């Protein structure tokens, strides 16, 4: 363990000294990554992005236009980036949430170089960023890139799970027992009016959060237990119907 720790420190110091001499740029228009004005790779969008699809998937290519990595970046909800190296299938979790920052990390760590993709750089990158960061942000404000704590130790309320679910304002009940609450409030995010739904269990712990856009047709639900984002549909987008759809979905899949 000590050897790994000291190796990591040496790598960080070495990279820091080397990075001081580098000029790294990411051009949003051309999607190209440049090192000292020379193209070393690119980051192109494959899917996602936007208020109702916060998880973006990117294709990362080297200077020969060969796809060498895939990246999933959440810039609005989970604040996490996952990089998958295609050949080795190894994963890394750098502490960045945008393409510009990701480009700098890949170049500074020697993954993308003027000589092409580096497997040694990949090993270094995976060593430094092997651990998936914890999602633990205060204020519970989804509009400010936060989502709250992951309640893995939450216990489910004992009741007849086959009973119908009833919604009384914010209170959610099943088998005449209160499962918890689904509250909602409107926020202005990126110039759009969004409705944010906060789902609390019977212990008052937040287990999920949902988001809908004004006049939108889908519901984005993020579960805190496993940080998975689901897209749900409702027969109408009234508040009561949305709460009912969210509650039934979470109960059916044993999140609630």
Q: Can you give the pLDDT at residue 129?
A: 87
Residue carrying structure tokens 């960023």: 129
Do 87 and 17 belong together in one domain? Answer: yes
In a domain, 135, yes or no: no
**Which H or E element spans position 198?**
strand 192-201
Do 124 and 149 belong together in one domain? Answer: no
Do 81 and 171 belong together in one domain? Answer: no
Sheet holding 228-232, edge to edge: 165-168, 171-174, 177-189, 192-201, 206-213, 219-223, 228-232
Pairing of strands 80-85, 67-74: antiparallel
In a domain, 245, yes or no: yes
* 40-49, 162-171, 191-200, range with greatest mean pLDDT: 162-171
Do 90 and 177 belong together in one domain? Answer: no
Sheet holding 55-62, edge to edge: 24-26, 32-35, 38-47, 55-62, 67-74, 80-85, 91-92
In a domain, 236, yes or no: yes
Query: How many domains are contained in the chain?
Result: 2
Q: Can you give the pLDDT at residue 244?
A: 92
* % residues pLDDT > 70 (the chain): 77
In a domain, 124, yes or no: yes
Decide: 250 and 154 in contact? Cβ < 8 Å. Answer: no
Q: Can you give the pLDDT at residue 143?
A: 37
Q: How far apart are CA 100 and CA 71, in angstroms?
A: 13
Do 58 and 149 belong together in one domain? Answer: no
pLDDT digit string (tens) for 218-231? 888 998 888 888 88
Decide: 7 and 30 in contact? Cβ < 8 Å. Answer: no
In a domain, 234, yes or no: yes
pLDDT digit string (tens) for 93-128? 888 878 898 999 999 999 999 999 999 999 999 998
Q: Can you give the pLDDT at residue 22?
A: 75
- In this prediction, residues 237-241 reach a mean pLDDT of 90
Q: Residue 48's domain spans which residues?
A: 2-128
In a domain, 133, yes or no: no
In a domain, 153, yes or no: yes
């Amino acid at each position: 363990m000590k050897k790994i720790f000291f190796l990591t420190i040496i790598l960080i110091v070495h990279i820091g000294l080397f990075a001081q001499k580098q000029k790294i740029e990411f051009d949003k228009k051309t999607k190209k990554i440049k090192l000292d004005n020379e193209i070393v790779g690119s980051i192109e969008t494959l899917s996602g992005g936007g208020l109702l699809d916060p998880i973006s998937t990117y294709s990362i290519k080297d200077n020969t236009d060969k796809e060498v990595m895939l990246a999933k970046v959440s810039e609005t909800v989970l604040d996490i980036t996952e990089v998958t190296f295609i050949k080795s299938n190894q994963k890394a979790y750098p502490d960045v949430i945008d393409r510009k920052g990701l480009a700098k990390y890949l170049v500074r760590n020697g993954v993308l170089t003027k000589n092409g993709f580096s497997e040694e750089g990949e090993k270094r990158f995976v060593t430094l960023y092997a651990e998936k960061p914890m999602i633990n942000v205060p204020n519970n404000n989804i509009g400010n890139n936060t989502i709250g704590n992951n309640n893995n130790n939450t216990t489910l309320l004992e009741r007849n799970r086959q009973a119908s679910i009833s919604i009384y304002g914010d209170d959610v009940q099943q088998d005449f027992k209160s499962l918890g609450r689904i509250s909602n409030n409107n926020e202005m995010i990126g110039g759009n009016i969004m409705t944010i739904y906060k789902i609390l269990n019977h212990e008052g712990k937040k287990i999920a959060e949902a988001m809908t856009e004004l006049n939108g047709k889908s519901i984005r639900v993020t579960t805190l237990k496993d940080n998975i984002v689901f897209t749900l549909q409702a027969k109408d987008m009234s508040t009561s119907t949305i709460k009912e759809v969210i509650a039934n979905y979470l109960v059916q899949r044993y999140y609630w």
